[in-house]
């Protein structure tokens, strides 16, 4: 089946104007001002006049097998469902473990990645968890990254958090160096995804690694950089040298503590952080816990959803006056480029046909994943 999107306002994520986009199999095979095909050809035509055609969103931090557990067995979160991705316009996810690298394991994350792929979506994963030394599939994170196609790096390793293993500078440096080398051997990004906690001076562990080794800031993707005001202030400077990931789903659950993601994007750009250094991820199916600062006891818990990404992109445009093509890059081309996800994050000839059609109110009309219309 050939699918032809006619008269779409295309954001690739860059504004391309009104175009026709043709899909055959799982690929985008042509993007032109006008494409006219012979009537005898079996073509599914999607009329897009007045609507935006964007790349499928890339959610690069998802607890695809479920997260949580900080409040005991009853606080474990469920695994990601494909319906949650489709409803959010997300066609690619990168899975990870989190707090619980003890009763949950990386093998299950790998099988969930394979399951999502078997059902037509795109998925990769990080090996490891909060803990150091990190759990692995083969018994060695280097072998996981170098040998297993679906594994793009290590994470999420927790620092500056009461739930972390409090890795030393030497331990964190060794893990980052091993991840880099394994990525080079396996042709991967070899990125270390870092869970940033609530401690004061939260980026200090990464600064110490860079100061005491040959590694640079772009070896790391620190996430939850909008979790409180002081980490965000530090992120404004850190982001000029390395990547900063903004968690979208924790808002509005923590309005008194968090920097709203759309506002965070605006303020990062105003501070001189390069747009290519900024990503949005949902942290979906992970727990969003709140702890009593004096006792350390869990006092509330919520769950993230993939739909938070498109919501914050929309509000970045409508409320914070960020051009749509800029807001769109933080969940399409930027994570794809940083994690080297081949064929993802762009509307380009030869790329995978991951496409989302939006109306003028940013509501999803259609979702195509790998050439298959799933909505």
- pLDDT tens, 138-188? 999 999 999 999 999 999 999 998 888 999 999 999 999 999 999 999 999
Report how far apart, in Å, the C-alpha atoms of 264 and of each of 102, 279, 283 are: 33, 11, 16
**Are 233 and 135 part of one and the same domain?**
yes
What's 46's domain CATH number?
2.30.40.10
**Are 71 and 177 part of one and the same domain?**
yes
pLDDT at 44: 94
In whole angstroms, give the CA distance from residue 27 to residue 18. Answer: 20
Hey, what are 50's tokens?
């007045």
Average predicted confidence (pLDDT) for the chain: 94
Percent of the chain with pLDDT over 90: 83
Q: What is the crossing angle of helices 261-270 and 229-238, to 10°?
A: 40
Contacts of 42 (CB under 8 A, 6+ apart): 1, 2
Hey, what are 305's tokens?
């959803």
Q: Which residue has the tokens 């816990």?
A: 289
**Are 7 and 62 part of one and the same domain?**
no
Domain region containing 88: 57-339
In whole angstroms, give the CA distance from residue 266 to residue 246. Answer: 12
Could you say which DSSP state residue 68 is in? B
By annotation, the residues acting in catalysis are 283
pLDDT at 75: 80
Please name which of 345, 375, 288, 335 lies closest in space to residue 94, comparing C-alpha atoms. Answer: 335
Residue 113 contacts residue 150 (beta carbons within 8 Å):
yes
Count of domains forming the chain: 2
Query: When comparing pLDDT for 272 and 77, which is higher?
Result: 272
Q: Which residue has the tokens 């620190």?
A: 222
| 294 confidence band (pLDDT: 50, 70, 90) | confident
Contacts of 67 (CB under 8 A, 6+ apart): 76, 77, 97, 98, 99, 100, 285, 286, 287
**Are 28 and 134 part of one and the same domain?**
no
């Amino acid at each position: 089946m050939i699918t032809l999107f006619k008269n779409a306002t295309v954001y690739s994520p860059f504004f391309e104007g009104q175009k026709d986009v043709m899909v055959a199999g799982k690929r985008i095979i042509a993007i032109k001002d006008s494409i006219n095909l012979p009537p005898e050809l079996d073509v599914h035509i999607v009329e897009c006049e007045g609507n935006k055609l964007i790349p499928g969103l890339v959610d690069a931090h998802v607890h695809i097998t479920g997260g949580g557990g900080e409040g005991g067995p009853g606080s474990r979160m469920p695994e990601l469902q494909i319906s949650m991705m489709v409803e959010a316009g997300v066609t690619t996810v990168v899975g990870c473990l989190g707090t619980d690298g003890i009763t949950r394991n990386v093998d299950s994350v790998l099988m969930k990645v394979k399951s999502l792929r078997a059902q037509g979506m795109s998925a990769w994963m990080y090996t490891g968890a909060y803990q150091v030394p990190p759990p692995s599939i083969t018994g060695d994170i280097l072998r996981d990254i170098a040998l297993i196609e679906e594994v793009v790096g290590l994470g999420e390793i927790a620092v500056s958090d009461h739930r972390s293993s409090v890795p030393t500078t030497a331990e964190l440096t060794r893990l980052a160096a091993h991840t880099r080398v394994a990525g080079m051997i396996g042709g991967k990004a070899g990125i270390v995804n870092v869970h940033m906690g609530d401690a004061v001076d939260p980026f200090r562990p990464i600064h110490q690694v860079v100061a005491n080794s040959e590694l640079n800031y772009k070896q790391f993707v620190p996430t939850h950089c909008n979790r409180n005001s002081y980490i965000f202030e530090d992120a404004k400077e850190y982001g000029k040298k390395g990547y900063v990931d903004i968690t979208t789903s924790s808002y509005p659950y923590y309005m008194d503590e968090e920097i709203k993601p759309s506002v965070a994007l605006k303020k990062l750009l105003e501070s001189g952080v390069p747009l290519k250094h900024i990503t949005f991820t949902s942290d979906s199916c992970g727990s969003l816990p709140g702890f009593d600062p004096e006792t350390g006891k869990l006092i509330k818990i919520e769950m993230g959803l993939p739909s938070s990404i498109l919501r914050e992109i929309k509000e970045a445009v409508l409320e914070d006056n960020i051009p749509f093509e800029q807001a769109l890059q933080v969940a399409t081309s930027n994570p794809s480029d940083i994690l080297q996800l081949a064929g993802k994050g762009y509307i380009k000839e030869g790329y995978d046909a991951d496409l989302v059609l939006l109306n003028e109110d940013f509501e999803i009309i259609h979702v195509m994943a790998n050439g298959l219309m799933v909505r």
